[in-house]
């Protein structure tokens, strides 16, 4: 069962009472709830006369029906409204579940679950590998020359914390070195010691809170076998 949100979904129902509604077909110009898929959930709004209800419903192809699984708000203070006559049922995006940003693009008081970070392969060019921070937070690079210089581009805005994970791989030769810009600060001013064996991997992490003026760094994992 998955939460599915679809555009322009609206049907009518002649179901009465406070229970599961039997859907009577799409209104002209709209889709039916069939686009949600059997046993999946979706956000819905029901209006019956002047009464209204917003919630999470479970769609079933048998009927077809929409169970009023979780009621988020309603015109009677959060309970299921009593349907009468012909009512309208349509997809919606409840304010209780909406994720919105303010002018500063800040998302507040929301729980992130099973989120992914973008992984980008950075390719060295002319002895330098540049991490474009507008494209990802996780980068992988394979060192193929004796020394490669690390650089950053498209730095984040100052005043926010920005983290980077860099996966550094040795080519078959090994003993490749990575040098760092002066903005990178490590414990005791000692740069990470990379693997010397070919095809081994090291993981280095950075974060900045001042728009890249300073990157605090550390070696998270070292000399990992392929």
Reported as a single tens digit per residue, the pLDDT across 82-122 is: 999 999 999 999 988 887 767 666 777 777 788 899 999 99
pTM above 0.75, yes or no: no
Q: Where are the domains of the chain?
A: 10-91, 119-224
- The least confident of 69-78, 94-103, 217-226 is 94-103
Contacts of 225 (CB under 8 A, 6+ apart): 200
pLDDT at 104: 67
For 31-61, write each residue's pLDDT tens digit.
Answer: 999 999 999 999 999 999 999 999 999 999 9
Mean pLDDT taken over the chain: 95
Proportion of the chain above pLDDT 90, given as a percent: 88
pLDDT at 27 over 70: yes
> What is the Cα–Cα distance from 27 to 137, expressed in whole angstroms?
45
Contacts of 64 (CB under 8 A, 6+ apart): 22, 23, 32, 33, 34
CB neighbour class for 189 (10 Å; exposed up to 12, middle 13-18, buried from 19): exposed
> What is the Cα–Cα distance from 5 to 44, expressed in whole angstroms?
10
What average pLDDT does range 20-28 have in this prediction? 97
DSSP single-letter state for residue 33? G
């Amino acid at each position: 069962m998955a939460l599915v949100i679809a555009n322009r979904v609206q049907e009518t129902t002649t179901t009465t009472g406070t229970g599961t509604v039997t859907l009577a077909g799409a209104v002209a110009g709209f889709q039916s709830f069939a686009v949600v898929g059997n046993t999946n959930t979706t956000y819905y709004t029901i209006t019956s006369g002047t009464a209204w209800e917003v919630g999470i419903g479970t769609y079933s192809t048998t009927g077809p029906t929409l169970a009023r699984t979780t009621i988020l708000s309603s015109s009677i203070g959060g309970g299921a409204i009593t349907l009468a006559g012909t009512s309208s049922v349509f997809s919606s995006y409840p304010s209780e579940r909406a994720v919105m940003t303010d002018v500063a693009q800040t998302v507040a008081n929301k729980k992130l679950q099973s989120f992914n970070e973008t992984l980008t392969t950075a390719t060295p060019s002319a002895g330098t590998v540049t991490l474009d921070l507008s494209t990802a937070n996780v980068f992988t690079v394979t060192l193929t020359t004796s020394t490669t210089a690390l650089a950053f581009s498209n730095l984040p805005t100052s005043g926010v914390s920005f983290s980077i994970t860099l996966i550094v791989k040795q080519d078959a030769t090994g003993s490749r070195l990575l040098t760092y810009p002066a903005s990178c600060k490590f414990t005791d001013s000692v740069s990470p010691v990379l693997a010397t064996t070919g095809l081994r991997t090291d993981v280095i992490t950075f974060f900045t809170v001042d728009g890249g003026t300073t990157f605090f760094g550390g070696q998270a994992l070292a000399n990992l076998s392929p």
